[in-house]
Structure 1
Amino acid sequence: MLSRLSRGLAVASKRQAIRRTALQNARMFSSEIKTTTTNDSGMTTKDQPMQFSKEPIMSNFGELPHGEIPEPLKYVRPFHITTLSNGIRVCSERIPGLTAQVSVYVKAGSRNEDLETTGTSYLLQKMALRGTTSKSKTELAEEIENIGAVYGAKSDREITSYGLKCHKGDAGKAVQLLGDMLCNNTLNSAELELVKQEVSMEHEANHTRYEETLLENVHFNSFREHMLGQPIKGDRDMNSTLRVDHLRDYHSANYIGDNIVVVATGDVSHEQIVDQVEQNFASLPKSTNIPAKNTEKPVYVPALLMLRDDEMINSNVGVFYDAPSIKHDDYYAFLLLKHIQGSFRIDQNAGHLNDVQ
């Protein structure tokens, strides 16, 4: 017993001596670097402020009174808005540069469906590139590629958006393409079946999208008595029952001028954008006699929901609050608070966990 204890003490003493030697060497090396830097006239040292330090702002503007914005930050870019005869609002903001972004926002989403047609808005958004009365889906894709544009679309619970990012000289062409896609879509039955297969595969892959799965369950838990609580992509079992007529009815009820905003940003002319929108979105009516679905304010129900998945390595937790809506006076103040708090994405910082894709 004593021999083991003696050997243990000897090993511990040896390790301690190694640590002391390493620490002394590190200090000597650091001292040599400082001496070399000080003696070398070609090298200068400067203490950099920390990432969130106020020092750069203080050196430029001094101490500002509480709530005051520095003068250089008070600049607002010129903004133009025009309302067309069919109710479409055309907005533009000129930003010098070589590229432009043209987007169409429709005030309609999964909220405006019912339990029998859940998933219609998502399918309609996916069908936008599947061909129009004047262009096949191949021709449509080629025209987008020919101008070097990048297409993007997104479906949400209350808003659906379509956008093209292109060279500033092709902004008018981008408006033409978006107008053709949204106003003259053929909604072919065969293409719809292909899109439904894509959506079905997305449903199967939901187990790898942890953030999306978490958000969908939070909405269901908070608004389970309203369509806001239903999935954006619809119910997996109901997906196969949707037909072209469901998409046409949804388009007729929601894709109207009063629900649409066209926005162009970049080195663009507001007058030219307005002319292009007038020409390419003229077929959309200002309003419709079909009443919008689920416009009543849903009841927010605070609750606790736990889902168990034994195949997951780590836990995914979210705490959510009833936030201001897009028309609330505090909406943009709330967005500012969100940016101040910042974010952390697991797929960018810890992608090895749960095989995040």
Structure 2
Amino acid sequence: MNFTAPDRKHLRQRCPWPVTVAAVTVVLLVLFYAYDTTTFADNSRVIQGYSHIELSSSESRLSDTHHLIPLLYKPFVHPVDASKFVNHDGQTYELTEPPRFTEPLGKKVLILDVDTRPLNGEGGMLNETMQYDSITHQTAGMLNHYLYAMVHGYEYKFIQSPAYTDRHQTWVKVPMIREALKSYDYVVFLDSDAVFPHTHLPVEWLFNYWNIREETLLAMALDPDQPFNKDSRGNTNLNTGFIIAQASPRTTEMLNVWEDCVTDTKFEKCSKWRYEWSHEQAAFSDFMRYEYERGTEVIELACTEANGYPQKADSGCSGEFVRHFWLGKELVADALRDTVSRYMALRLHETFRDYIDVSMVNASNKTLPLHAGERVIV
């Protein structure tokens, strides 16, 4: 099923963040009943259009966001085994081989966030209340990941990690991914400034498109092809803001060696990357990727597909499937809004069409001024 999104600029102009989020809560309830046609028929809930709704014993489901979100997005979810994907700009991406993944993986996939910071300040993910106009980019990114997991039935975890005392805190993703792989077949890690722009596109399709194989250990995107993004051998660095990890003893071994890299036990001068930018990312690019089979065990994803964002398209990295806002963190909240309002607008229109006989009055055959006693709305 191809998906064409409404113009995002138009939506942002007409749907400020507080209005968008407030509307979602109400409309989700309406769309839940509008979509659950079997329940409608069985319980005769609709009386005289939708002017009266009789709630059943399952009324408590209204508060179950984990149930409502998949229903909202279900009509748009792209088939796992589809041969191609057409984005909202009409660009087509096609598989080059028969799909390896033909069924949803569900809870075998973990969407993972990791952070050492408290994130409990104003607009923070762990704050008990949320002020819509002060949402931080970390919260916006994590909510996008949380939403994406709910849409497709994946597991989601936010690990508030212990902090390192001997290196930069970005290194914590390495042991936390390793720990997560003890419980899940696939771990998809994202930095909090990275988002899934196509909420309806499952990771299984991306696994097929990127040729994630049985022997694949990790996959991550290349950085922009610039001199400052080169490793010691002159090859473009890999970016650890988005990582696909597949569980296996060899993956565990890799992550152990990667974490231990800064001790210089295996790789001389890796200790340079304890605190020097780009930390674990540079260590992987300089040393780790050359220890494993590139193209099969370590897959290098195109920057334009899994890194960057549209405002940096001139760098060769527009973030088609994963957007990483390295220099535009203020744009992450907009990206979250898009992943909510885009689909909401289409479902609202779908609901209007389903009830068009109730919602619309065609008075085009009338003549103005109306005659006394003449009724337009009946």
Larger radius of gyration: 1
Q: TM-score, normalised by structure 2?
A: 0.24
Q: TM-score, normalised by structure 1?
A: 0.25
